Structure formats: structure tokens, C-alpha cells
Amino acid sequence: MKRTHPLEVTVALALVTLLVSFVAGPVPALLLVVVAAFVAVPVRLRRSFRGESPEPTSTTVEISPRGVSRREAIKRLGVGGAGLAVPVAVGGPTLIDSWKAEAGAATGPSGRTRQWGMIIDLRKCDGCQSQGTAPQCTLACIEGHFAPEPMEWIQIYESEMEGGGTQFIPAPCQQCQNPPCVNVCPVTATYSTAEGTVLIDQDRCIGCRMCMAACPYDRRFFNWGDPPVPPEAVLADYSAEHQVPARKGTVMKCDFCPEMARAGTLPYCAQACPNDAIYYGDLEEDVATNGRDVVSFSDFTTENNSFRLKEDLGTQPRVFYIPGHGEDVGRDPHDEGRLPTRWPWIERVKGAVTWRR
């Protein structure tokens, strides 16, 4: 209900008083003012006791769907004067990041937020040559996420070593702590979480592929066509932490499987490695495991001269590598080549059409 503004009341009272003083003289007019004051003061007191503003403002406040006023949201997002749909991602984490991160961040026994990290022991990786199969980590990740061909969220590169021979280097998303992909996304579809992972929200992704151009590790993939969806994924409850089912026109990548870690299991890739080369753990609690051995994250990486890919770029990856070429599992570095990756789940989808990267 519209309330009368005090100014309107004052003007009306002044006019009435003027009229009365002209018609009946100054004494009745003075009496009228005194009576009006006696009536007005109790009304203000009653409103005050009810907790109402005695002088309601006329400002209109728009409430956003999340229960935060549009003005407040814009202020906290740091995009003064612009709409919420405009680019807001340049720089550090935003309110949107906090909402998403706070929703699912896990804490360790010490009460501190988990900081997921990975160690890949190249001394144990032989590209699955000893298994006579394509790399098992890649296959398990593909099968676990129904990743469309040609996506290899963890890709096994074969790299020449100084002095001859080759080594295999499994490369998931490096989960950079200074991620170029996040810094360029114009709609905050890709973002860092409180647990230190970098995710993509396909609900927000507009397919501009700027993140793909920015990633120095080539760890992002685009859905150029309608991705095949197997029956078991049709009703999947989509989440940025699992990215199932895939969607045309959006970018995908390794999500670091934080929901599996919170549930107490290792990511698909670590579970599947026949040589236990992949350790996953929490930097905050300083612990990592490959499912068989439990190690101190810091001691294991420091004592074994770990390195990170393209460290000089300042991206601060969360994936650490122990140097090696499969020597712990008997691989001859001159035994080159690995079997090509396959996407077995796609064969189960009738009429599936895929694309080239």
C-alpha cells in the first residue's frame, strides 16, 4: 500500500492552517496545528514500536533469484554499472566462485579445506606397454565420464629424452593455481574452487574457446558436434565436477574428480593404473596415496626431485611429476610406442557420430 510522504502532509496542513487563519483568525489556526501535532506523534511512535521505518523510503530494490539484491550482487562482483550477464571474470575469484566452492568444499581432520593434488611417478609409467593395451588411465577416465572421442582428459605423451630413448608423460589438466584459462573466461564458466581445482560449468559456457587458446598445456576439448549419450548417462545428474552428459558447443576437460575424493575413492585414472604410478592426495593434510602406498605429499615430492610442467610460466600446477621412464616396472626406454586410445563406450551408442579435435 502506498504511504503518504511527510512532505505532502506538511504542505496540506500549511494550506489548511492558512485557510483557517483567513476565515476564523490566528487563534483557531494555532489550535489546529497543536491538535495535528498530538495526532501525528503517537502514530510515529506506534510505527517505531512495530519496527517500521517512520519515514519509508521510495527506493525500489530488485531481488535477484539467489536472494541477493541486484545492486549488492553487482557491488560484490565488481562490475559497477553493468548487468550481471556481462563479462566479470578478469582477475581473481568472484562471488559466483565462492557460492559454488562453499557448496561442496571438503575439510580434512584438522578442519582446513582440502587442497587436492596429484603426483605422477614416471618411474612406474610404461604407457601400459607391459599390459599390451592402450593406457589404462586414459581408458578409465573416458569410460567413467563418457568423454566423447577424441577427448583424452588424461593424455599419454611420449617424449624424447636427452641421451636417447623415450619416456611416457600422462597429462591431465594441471589444475593450475594461477590458471590462464580462468583468467580469460568472459562469463566465469571456468573457475577455481576453494579446494584448488579448476572446473567448467557447461551451463554457463558459451563456447567462445578463449580458455582453450589460453591453456599452455592443451588440456581443453570442445564439443564440436552433438556428443553421443549412452543410455546410462541420459538421466545423469549433471554437475561441473562430473560433466555428464556432454553438451554440444561447450568445453570440457579433466575435472580432477573431487567428488570421488570426498567419497573416499581415488579418481578413475589412479584406480586403473596397473603400475600404481598415480598418487592423489591433499596438500593441506600433506598426504597422498596410489591406493597401495600412503606417502607424505611434501616428502615424496621433495626427496624425489619432483618437477611440474612449464613451471617457468608461473601457472603453479597442482600436478607433480617424479622423473623417470618406467624403469621401476622394467621398461626399456628404447622400446618406443604405445597402443592408440579407444572410446569403447561410444561403440555401445547406436548411430554415434564423433568429430576430429
Report if residue 179 touches ligand SF4, rule: CB under 6 A: yes
Q: Does 201 bind ligand SF4 (CB under 6 A)?
A: no
Question: Can you tell me the distance from the alpha carbon of 341 to that of 179, in angstroms, rounded to the nearest whole number?
Answer: 27
What distance in Å separates the CA atoms of residue 15 and residue 36, rounded to the nearest whole number?
13
Using the rule CB under 6 A, give the single segment among 62-70, 159-167, 221-229, 271-279 that binds ligand SF4. 271-279
Q: Does 181 bind ligand SF4 (CB under 6 A)?
A: yes
Q: Kindly identify the residues of this chain, within the stretch 312-341, that bind ligand SF4 according to CB under 6 A.
A: 315
Neighbours of 282 (CB within 10 A): 21
Residue 290 within binding range of ligand SF4, rule CB under 6 A: no
Q: Which stretch binds ligand SF4 (CB under 6 A): 5-13, 61-69, 266-274, 296-304?
A: 266-274
Residue whose C-alpha cell reads 581443453 in the numeric block? 220
Candidate list 257, 288, 322, 346; residue touching ligand SF4; CB under 6 A = 257
CB of 74 to ligand SF4, least distance (A): 27
- Report the 10 Å Cβ neighbour count for 203: 10
Interface stretch with ligand SF4, choices 1-9, 19-27, 87-95, 250-258 (CB under 6 A): 250-258
Q: How far is the CB of 162 from ligand SF4 (least distance, A)?
A: 21
Q: Which residue from 117, 148, 170, 324 is in contact with ligand SF4, where contact means CB under 6 A?
A: 170
- The least distance separating ligand SF4 from the CB of residue 160, rounded to whole angstroms, comes to 17
Check binding of 146 to ligand SF4 (CB under 6 A). Answer: no
One-letter amino acid of 295: V
CB contact at 8 A, 221 and 206: no
Cα–Cα dist 264/106, whole Å: 11
Verify binding: residue 242, ligand SF4, rule CB under 6 A: no
Pick between residue 29 and residue 291 the one whose CB is nearest to ligand SF4: 291
Site string for ligand SF4, 14-33 (x = CB under 6 A): --------------------
CA atoms within 13 A on the CB side of 215: 25
Q: How distant, in Å, are the alpha carbons of 127, 133, 147, 308 from that of 169?
A: 8, 16, 20, 11
Number of residues that bind ligand SF4 (CB under 6 A): 41
Burial grade of 281 (CB within 10 A; 0-12, 13-18, 19 or more): buried
Q: C-alpha 241: how far from its chain's center?
A: 8
Span from 22-30, 57-65, 80-88, 131-139 in contact with ligand SF4 (CB under 6 A): 131-139
| Interacting residue with ligand SF4 among 74, 97, 146, 153 (CB under 6 A) | 153
Q: Please give, one letter per residue, the 3-state secondary structure of 11-70.
A: HHHHHHHHHHHHHHCHHHHHHHHHHHHHHHHHHHHHHHHCCCCCCCCCCCCCECCCCCEH
Does 127 help bind ligand SF4 (rule: CB under 6 A)?
A: yes
Task: State in angstroms the smallest separation of the CB of 296 from ligand SF4.
Answer: 21
Going from the C-alpha of 337 to that of each of 20, 172, 264, 334, the distances in angstroms are 106, 20, 35, 9
Among 73, 141, 151, 199, binds ligand SF4 (CB under 6 A): 141
Is residue 198 within 8 Å of residue 179, measured between CB atoms?
Answer: yes
- Which CB, 141 or 205, lies closer to ligand SF4? 141
- What whole-number distance in Å separates Cα of residue 108 and Cα of residue 101? 15
Query: Which amino acid makes up residue 335?
Result: D
User: Site residues (CB under 6 A) for ligand SF4?
Assistant: 125-128, 135-137, 141, 144, 153-154, 156, 168, 170, 172-176, 179-181, 198, 215, 217, 219-220, 253-257, 267-269, 272-273, 275, 277-278, 315
